[in-house]
Amino acid sequence: MQKQKRIMVMAGPGTLPSQGRDRMDLTHYNVKFSGKPRLTPVEMLDAWPEISQYAETCTDDGPVMEVATHDDLHRLSLRIQEILQRSDINGLVWIQGTNTLEETAFFLNLTVRSDKPVVVVGAQRPFTAISTDAHLNLVNAVRVAACTDTRGKGVVTVTNSEINAARDVTKTSTFQVQTFRSRDLGVMGYADADRIVYYRAPVRRHTTLSEFDLDKVTEMPRVEILYGHTGADPRLARSAVELGAQGLVFAGIGAGALGVYTDELRKLASEGILIARSARVGEGRVLNIGNTYEEGMAAADNLNPQKAALLLALGMTRTRDINEIQRVFDEY
């Protein structure tokens, strides 16, 4: 009989470990409303002993990791890297809130230099709620982390029985359980009742093939996102720089056009501020040619603005050459 995989389960803040006031509470489960603290990983695993059918689990006894800033993600990635270096750990599940789950997953995909499975999971309904997705999402996350086929595929997310690549996935609904989707490219596979099944694998650089080494980074560069819209005030771009932003991501209109921000962003680019053009539309690539091309700025391919900001910040830890930044967007 094959020996069970040993999976580390870690948790930060978020809906999945939260407890509502009662089973009908789908909206007031924050501890300040419910008066009930978030469940620990041990408590969640104890509630579902069936998980032991799929893997041996253990939990991290370190401090609870936050995910509110780039520096938080920096610390989390280094901690996960440290855990995965252990010979007794075969994979890891990280539990957090869904609001920024895609950013955490993508950052880990770019910085955790291990081919062991890393699964990021959250829930739209708290652990205590009627018809919660928290229970099955947690079970499936452990199953996917323990699956041999997950190894080497980079960081993945598991929600609603769907496996998505960290680079591609985004939150698409405020409250519904089918919120996480890879709009352009679709799911990688499914955590179905009979087995874990994959249909594709990511081809962009990640994890063990990544050039980003957080051991050599003491502080993450500041990157801000600007949003193009009718009536926008382009002075916000310089204000962001004056407040300390070293790089800017522009959520462009249409195919990544700068609109009323054009003159201001061109000035900033000429002054050495690194700028990446993304798009606000949700699908499709921003091209580095054609009508929306801007000299001295990078095109973010099909990364949404929030992921482009992470990649730009990491790129800036390696180089301040805009051509090299464009290479980073082309390869990751």
The answer to whether the CB of 277 falls within 8 A of the CB of 284 is no
pTM: 0.97
State CA 190 to chain mean position distance: 19
Edge-to-edge, what's the strand order for the sheet holding 196-198?
56-59, 6-11, 91-95, 118-121, 156-159, 162-165, 189-191, 196-198
Q: Which residues contact 75 (CB under 8 A, 6 or more apart)?
A: 65
Q: What is the pLDDT along the chain (332 residues), one digit of tens a residue?
A: 578 999 999 999 999 999 999 999 999 999 999 999 999 999 999 999 999 999 999 999 888 899 999 999 999 999 999 999 999 999 999 999 999 999 999 999 999 999 999 999 999 999 999 999 999 999 999 999 999 999 999 999 999 999 999 999 999 999 999 999 999 999 999 999 999 999 999 999 999 999 999 999 999 999 999 999 999 999 999 999 999 999 999 999 999 999 999 999 999 999 999 999 999 999 999 999 999 999 999 999 999 999 999 999 999 999 999 999 999 999 99
* Residues involved in catalysis: 15
User: In angstroms, rounded to a whole number, what is the distance separating the alpha carbons of residues 176 and 190?
Assistant: 18
Residue whose token pair is 């499709």:
284
User: In angstroms, rounded to a whole number, what is the distance separating the alpha carbons of residues 90 and 154?
Assistant: 14
The answer to whether the CB of 48 falls within 8 A of the CB of 139 is yes
Domains in the chain, start-ordered, CATH in brackets?
6-209 (3.40.50.1170), 222-331 (3.40.50.40)
Q: What is the dihedral of CA 297, 181, 310, 229, to 10 degrees?
A: 50
Q: List beta partners, residue 6.
A: 56
Helices of type H across the chain = 31-34, 41-47, 70-84, 101-111, 134-145, 235-242, 262-270, 305-316, 322-331
What angle, rounded to 10 degrees, do the helices at 305-316 and 70-84 form? 70
